[in-house]
Amino acid sequence: MIRLENVTKSFENYLAVDNVSFEVPEGELCVLLGPSGCGKTTTMRMVNRLIERTSGRILIDGRDIHEIDPVRLRRSIGYVIQQIGLFPNKTVEDNICTVPDLLGTDRKASRRRAWELLEMVNLDPNVFARRYPKQLSGGQQQRVGVIRALAADPPVLLMDEPFGAIDPINRAVIQDEFLKLQSTLRKTVIFVSHDIDEAVKMASRIAIFRAGKLVQYDTPDNILAHPADEFVADFVGADRTLKRLQIVRVHQAMQPDPPRVTAETPVGEALALMQQHGHRQIVMVGPRGRARGIVSLAQIRDARGTVGEHYERIPCLINVDDTLRNAVSEMFSKDQTWLVCVDDDGMYAGYLTQRGITHLLGETYRGA
């Protein structure tokens, strides 16, 4: 969707962007990351021609942006800045509809869209639509700034450190709300940040800059696991392995489709199954496969009857699509060395162990 080909920007006294090439596929979010003065914001602003490139080409959906009138180009691209930039003399509703009004969109349709967007970021339109910016908190203003950029339904969205001025609690909330929006709307986004944790959380791909050059362009997981050089390794931090816990999913590290028993399974059969697989515990499932309990080898070694007479409740469950960070937190808080993994319907899908997590992370580095 967005492609940069050998893009360079020179100012009088220095080279701000040096022969940069990368492509952001449709529907993905790319974070431009790096220290102050590295060229990331200049690169983003060349995409909507707020800064004109010195050489190279920038294409959106296969079309060279320099063949498009700059004003028309900017009205077709959503733009969110850290300072928000809401018009103080306009209501929230009218702020959101700024671009649709410029494009001549039907007023009733654009206001209806504004109310829908307010609901999507948990701002009740009956309460907030006719307020003015000064009547909103900083976090609320930032949410309005984000949805204003979405009001004309642009295919491309540029975001310049949009959450940098927000306190940590509201910042996390707005990040989560934006990720939910993005999962539904699938915009192609270029997002400037200086925060590696924000980039790891938000990005499909990360572009790391240094002194105007693109040093590495890859997925967050690959950048954390395989930094291109010492600069990237230092920038992402010595705790990069721990950062990976935030993006690797449970299903990637769990043991899938393990043996299981039902309440009607004879104790002797369950015992034989555990011994066969070398397990000290086994999960009991219901008639449709939902995780119902745990049976321990020590409990049934000398027991009789069925498994349903000897099971314990499961201390904690983890969803297969949850992050390893949350899984590790559950293990530590519940003093467990393994977790039962279930899908959205509660069906038993596998189990996750501390050893499985360390093996997955270690295997990545051994394969480098």
Q: What is the pLDDT of residues 72-130, one digit of tens each?
A: 999 899 988 877 788 899 999 999 998 888 888 899 999 998 998 898 888 899 999 99
Range 41-73 burial, b when 16+ CB lie within 10 A, else e: bbbbbbbbbebebeebebbbeeeebeeeeeeeb
Cβ atoms of 196 and 180 within 8 Å: the answer is: no
Distances 8 to 21, 158, 337 between C-alpha atoms, Å:
9, 19, 52
pLDDT in tens, 270-313: 999 998 988 999 999 999 999 999 999 888 888 889 999 989 99
**Domain residue spans in the chain?**
2-244, 250-365
Q: Do the domains 2-244 and 250-365 sit in the same CATH topology, yes or no?
A: no
43-57, 144-158, 289-303: range with highest mean pLDDT: 43-57
| pLDDT value at 173 more than 90 | no
pLDDT in tens, 177-194: 888 888 888 999 999 998
The three-state secondary structure class of 125 is helix
Tell me which of 78-82, 183-187, 335-339, 350-354 is least confident.
78-82
Q: How far apart are the first and last CA of the chain?
A: 30
User: For 257-279, what is the mean pLDDT?
Assistant: 91
CA–CA dist 162, 153 (Å, integer): 18
Give the amino acid at 42: T
CA–CA dist 113, 105 (Å, integer): 11
- CATH homologous superfamily for the domain 250-365: CBS-domain (3.10.580.10)
CA–CA dist 179, 66 (Å, integer): 31
Give the amino acid at 365: Y
User: For 351-366, what is the mean pLDDT?
Assistant: 81
Cβ atoms of 85 and 40 within 8 Å: the answer is: no
The CATH code of the domain at 2-244 is 3.40.50.300
Burial class (CB in 10 A: 0-12, 13-18, 19+), 360: middle
pLDDT in tens, 156-168: 999 998 887 677 7
CA–CA dist 357, 193 (Å, integer): 29
Distances 285 to 84, 94, 293, 303 between C-alpha atoms, Å:
51, 55, 7, 20
pLDDT band (50, 70, 90) for residue 364: low
| pLDDT value at 365 more than 60 | no
- Check residue 174 and give its pLDDT: 83
Question: Which residues lie across from 291 on neighbouring strands?
Answer: 285
Q: Name which of 212, 202, 249, 210 is nearest 227 in CA terms.
A: 210
| pLDDT value at 367 more than 60 | no
CA–CA dist 365, 368 (Å, integer): 5
User: For 334-348, what is the mean pLDDT?
Assistant: 94
Average pLDDT of the chain to the nearest whole number: 90
Angle subtended by helix axes 168-185 and 138-150, to nearest 10? 20
- Check residue 15 and give its pLDDT: 94
